[in-house]
Amino acid sequence: MLKGKKILLCITGGIAVYKMCALTSKLTQKGAHVKVIMSESATEFVAPLTFKALSKNEVYTDTFDEKDARVIAHIDLADWADLILVGPATANTIGKLANGIADNMVTTTLLAATSDVWIAPAMNVHMYDHPAVQKNIQTLYDYGYRFINPGEGYLACGYIGKGRLEEPEKIIAHIEEYFSKENQFLKNQRVLVTAGPTREKIDPVRFISNSSTGKMGYSVAQQALNLGAEVILVTGPSHLTPPKGAKVISVESAEEMYEAVMDHYDKTDIVIKTAAVSDYKPTFAYEHKVKKQEGKESIEFVRTKDILLELGKRKKHQILIGFAAETQNMEKYAKDKLAKKNADMIVANNVNSKDSGFGTDTNRVSLYLKNGEAIELPLLSKEEAAFKILEKAYQMKGMVNK
């Protein structure tokens, strides 16, 4: 989503500069071209060399230090950027910009900018609430600037309240959503995603489950939203925050997930089953907590409904994608599952791998398609892997419609 995008970071003087280091690194890893301007105050917190190393580009701190005699730096940077982000934006910088003051490299460049400018404030809660600061924010908003509102929590000054610079991961999600509007190839498509584990009760306090966290499924749901789709997320228990804009259906058991998926299947265009559904459940669940006893205890299990198999039987116009979390013979099991379940694609990964198992931020998957094609993807973030899966699903959807 961010590959090749030109993002200019204007960094001003606040303790939250350290978060901008993480943001610069993450944007660069995602393929964005990042350039950095720092105010003099910002350099008191973090040396420009840090951002030079993270962005792989020169860092600009002085309006009069022209690094390339062929161009005027602050004009060239303003023209270069696809998007400009100011953060941590101090009350001082916000005030200067609202009143057209250009007395350093940051404000001079911002006044020359024609691309969209986002401002991410960070300051003491009382400073943020001051009428002058709020008036300046409103002035900039009226000018067309947009804001990434600060979060609430413990501040460096010791106060607890609104004023924390938003976390880098959330800022990146906003940026990805912004750029995704240029390429919304899933517009007018309804995508159903299952995510997370299921739980099968033994008694009121015990259950069987698995190690799935839902990260892969939530990433698929978020990327589908970014690409313009209407998204239904059927999720088992997870600590993750569901993507904003998705219709979320929370379930616990395999039976509940089956019912939720079937309720929406007929009106769905693409189904992506990332959920790790329990294959078995106890024959019956005890009404009260089972007390500890001497000797062995055994539990009889029965099969749960095979959701993917049932979807394959009922498939009409849908693109049906399943996941295969394996520990051995990944290709064989994935291809067997593809044929048996009448799926259009199986996404397989080895969950024993430390970088692509449950709960990781990355995944190394292979895509096995109904037409015999096999695509082995490199190690990617789960968001990047989700995009690749959705891109292939869209291509397959076009083939089906033809």
Q: What domains lie within the chain, and their CATH numbers? A: 6-178 (3.40.50.1950), 185-287+294-401 (3.40.50.10300)
- Residue 362: closest CA among 192, 216, 221: 216
Which residues fall in the annotated binding site?
Answer: 279, 289, 323, 337, 341
pLDDT at 100 over 70: yes
pTM of this prediction exceeds 0.85: no
What was the pLDDT predicted at 156?
64
What is the structure's pLDDT at 244?
87
Is the predicted pLDDT of residue 153 greater than 80, yes or no?
no
> What value does the mean pLDDT take over residues 284-302?
90
> Active-site positions?
157
159 pLDDT band (50/70/90 cuts)?
low
pLDDT of residue 179 exceeding 80: yes
Nearest Cα to 287, choosing from 350, 206, 351, 210? Answer: 206
Q: What is the mean pLDDT of residues 368-393?
A: 92
pLDDT of 400 > 70? The answer is no
Rounded mean pLDDT, 325-346: 94
CA angle 274, 282, 308 (to 5 degrees): 25
pLDDT digits 0-9 by tens, 223-257: 999 899 999 999 999 999 999 899 999 999 999 99
Over 80: is that where the pLDDT of 382 sits? Answer: yes
pLDDT at position 157 over 70? no
Alpha-carbon distance 171 to 191, whole Å? 25
Q: What is the pLDDT of residue 214?
A: 94
Alpha-carbon distance 87 to 12, whole Å?
Answer: 6
Residue 401 is predicted with a pLDDT of 47
217 or 150, which is more confident? 217
Residue 266 CB-half CA count within 13 A: 2
What mean pLDDT is predicted for residues 60-89? 91
**Is 93:39 a contact under the CB 8 Å cutoff?**
yes
Q: How large is the average pLDDT for residues 88-111?
A: 96
CA atoms within 13 A on the CB side of 378: 0
| Surface-to-core class of residue 153, CB atoms within 10 Å of its CB (0-12 exposed, 13-18 middle, 19+ buried) | exposed
What's the token pair of residue 167? 């976390």
Residue, of 347 and 354, whose pLDDT is higher = 347
Residue 128 in this model has a pLDDT that exceeds 50: yes
- Note the pLDDT tens digit of each residue in 10-23: 999 999 999 999 99
386 vs 377: CA distance, rounded Å: 11
CA dihedral 383, 388, 393, 395 (to 10 degrees): 140
What would the mean pLDDT of 179-200 be, rounded to a whole number? 90
Report the length, in residues, of the chain: 402
What is the chain's mean pLDDT, rounded?
A: 92
Instruction: Name the residue among 273, 269, 365 with its Cα closest to residue 310.
Output: 273
| Mean predicted confidence (pLDDT) in 321-342 | 94
Q: In the chain, what percentage of residues exceed pLDDT 90?
A: 74
Inform me whether the pLDDT recorded for 120 exceeds 60.
Answer: yes
